Chains A and B, each alone.
Chain A
């Protein structure tokens, strides 16, 4: 029994686990972990790869046919810089998909909502499939949807923090309101966090640090794969409503049926 596939823009994904390429102890180990995860969408930081070099070590380890690259603009500080970087990436990597990341703050890497919205609008006009990394801000998500992004990627907690779904209440609102897929990105530190996001109705999650810095990244990748599948299956199977009180086995209104 498999979860329903996910459609974003013109592409269909059977895996709802998106992954990243940073922080691994070696590129062969990265490749092994990403293959074990089953991930079909893998984000790559433009600053880490030489997009003009066909022999770039990271890119060489991302050649599996089921893996689609999602270049990201990590490092830019403004909309103008993001658009410039995106155009170079599109040309060199031959994909119009882009993870739009504008985080001018190098400590917590929190996204700049104003620059992100401006850049998203321009990039959509330029023909990009834009997946913006943003704070869990429901209004911003709707604004991004209006300018034509393909999905939204709200954060659960700061990038790399492994702190889980700290923005839970706002993620729920985003999932409820969104007309584009919601990918919970950043902060997911354990398979249980990923499962929780999927049970809530997130369309996918993006995980990097939790896999890359695990003692055994390959095994952790499998654990996340299972958690994401389990969470999604549970969502599709409709979880029973939870309640603080027990429900009476003889309903109060049963007499009306007599």
Chain B
């Protein structure tokens, strides 16, 4: 399990290693064709900042070579905002006194119809963590309802046990995203004080359980801004390296969730909680390119958290999949558009508009990249 690998690393030492990298380390990493974790540390270090254009050029080339001139499109489908966890940065946190809602079968289908009408073939099912109402039976039902309509089903929900994952894969689940949020165990405790999510080890072992259950793709990521993004990204890369060797039939993707402002409902009404500028655009580009230079095969995914201008430019710098027109509230597309969002999105353009942007950048928007005929259930 990756938890055992983690015991041989120290957060503080990894952080120091990154922050003491020199221009020479960066140049060596840039010149290498077989890059190591130490090279990745150099590429995400402050010392690499002056080399950003060179990194972007290499990242563009490597990505086109491996993925072609294509960009995958997907959309989230929020099924529920019920949650028993307290997470300081999330609007679905148990202590936020918002109205809770879990979509019924009929509502799920209405949302699905709306996404299908936009052209989507790949949807990401999202929930909070409420095992009583949104447990494995609910998720299984949702997959059964949706597999007739979409070619590719992904899921971003609470961590489950290995047999649960195996059951859902047999129903047609292709991908699971599970972000560690932060690999800094001390800070993890502070931001997750209550609920099952407070268990760092259970969460960090989730990709192992997924790999053992034979999932097709696992999405990793750290919530950028919760701790030092550089150190968290190093641990994400370490995790990726471990998983690729361990579960070699599984594909991997990395996401870049930068903290976004959320609405919190308390005694004084709705207030906005802002986390400030925790990572600059320049730094996020550096990170995207560093991942590509480190691993030419990993899929890199970008959500509507980012601004239109930023998204339009990074399409060419290593990103391979992108969401558009997203709603981050259950029922957000048609059932109840006004309910509270998990986080505020920055890019409100429709999928059709985004597809046009992708085409103008010289890429083909890819709606479908999986087929039920490839996974007999």
What residues make up the interface of A, taking CB atoms closer than 8 Å to B? 22-27, 46-51, 73, 75-77, 80-81, 84-85, 88-89, 104-107, 160, 162, 209, 212-213
B69 touches A213 (CB 8 A): yes
Chain B residue total in the interface (Cβ 8 A): 28
Task: State which residues 99-137 of B face A: CB under 8 Å.
Answer: 121
B376 touches A81 (CB 8 A): yes
A160 touches B248 (CB 8 A): no
Report the separation of the CA atoms of residues A48 and B251 in the bound assembly, to the nearest whole angstrom.
Answer: 17
Counting CB contacts under 8 A, is B138 at the interface?
Answer: no
A77 to chain B, nearest CB (A): 6
Residues of the A chain whose Cβ atoms lie less than 8 Å from the Cβ of B2 = none
Residues of the B chain whose Cβ atoms lie less than 8 Å from the Cβ of A107 = 244, 248, 297
A256 to chain B, nearest CB (A): 57
What residues make up the interface of B, taking CB atoms closer than 8 Å to A? 64-70, 121, 151, 244, 248-251, 297, 359, 362-364, 366, 368-371, 373-376
A185 to chain B, nearest CB (A): 17
Query: Chain B interface secondary structure, helix, strand, loop or mixed?
Result: loop
Q: 27 A-B pairs, CB-CB below 8 angstroms?
A: A22-B70, A23-B67, A23-B69, A24-B68, A24-B70, A24-B364, A25-B362, A25-B363, A26-B359, A47-B151, A47-B374, A48-B369, A50-B368, A75-B370, A75-B371, A81-B375, A84-B373, A85-B373, A88-B373, A104-B249, A105-B248, A107-B297, A209-B65, A212-B69, A213-B65, A213-B68, A213-B69
Partner of A47, one of B64, B67, B368: B368
Partner of A48, one of B64, B65, B297, B368: B368
Partner of B249, one of A77, A85, A212: A77
Top 8 nearest A-B pairs (CB, nearest first) are: A23-B68, A25-B69, A88-B373, A106-B251, A75-B374, A84-B376, A85-B373, A104-B249
B249 touches A46 (CB 8 A): no
Residues of the B chain whose Cβ atoms lie less than 8 Å from the Cβ of A209 = 65, 68
Report the separation of the CA atoms of residues A37 and B323 in the bound assembly, to the nearest whole angstrom.
Answer: 35
A48 touches B362 (CB 8 A): no
B67 touches A106 (CB 8 A): no
Report the separation of the CA atoms of residues A212 and B64 in the bound assembly, to the nearest whole angstrom.
Answer: 10
Residues of the A chain whose Cβ atoms lie less than 8 Å from the Cβ of B369 = 47-48
Residues of the A chain whose Cβ atoms lie less than 8 Å from the Cβ of B151 = 47, 50
Residues of the B chain whose Cβ atoms lie less than 8 Å from the Cβ of A162 = 65
Nearest chain-B residue to A106 (Cβ)? B251
Residues of the A chain whose Cβ atoms lie less than 8 Å from the Cβ of B362 = 25
Report the separation of the CA atoms of residues A209 and B244 in the bound assembly, to the nearest whole angstrom.
Answer: 24
B366 touches A48 (CB 8 A): yes
Report the separation of the CA atoms of residues A209 and B68 in the bound assembly, to the nearest whole angstrom.
Answer: 7
A160 to chain B, nearest CB (A): 6
A225 to chain B, nearest CB (A): 21
Report the separation of the CA atoms of residues A24 and B362 in the bound assembly, to the nearest whole angstrom.
Answer: 9
B67 touches A105 (CB 8 A): no
A47 touches B375 (CB 8 A): no
Residues of the A chain whose Cβ atoms lie less than 8 Å from the Cβ of B244 = 107
B64 touches A213 (CB 8 A): yes
Residues of the A chain whose Cβ atoms lie less than 8 Å from the Cβ of B373 = 46, 51, 84-85, 88-89
Residues of the B chain whose Cβ atoms lie less than 8 Å from the Cβ of A51 = 371, 373
Report the separation of the CA atoms of residues A27 and B376 in the bound assembly, to the nearest whole angstrom.
Answer: 29
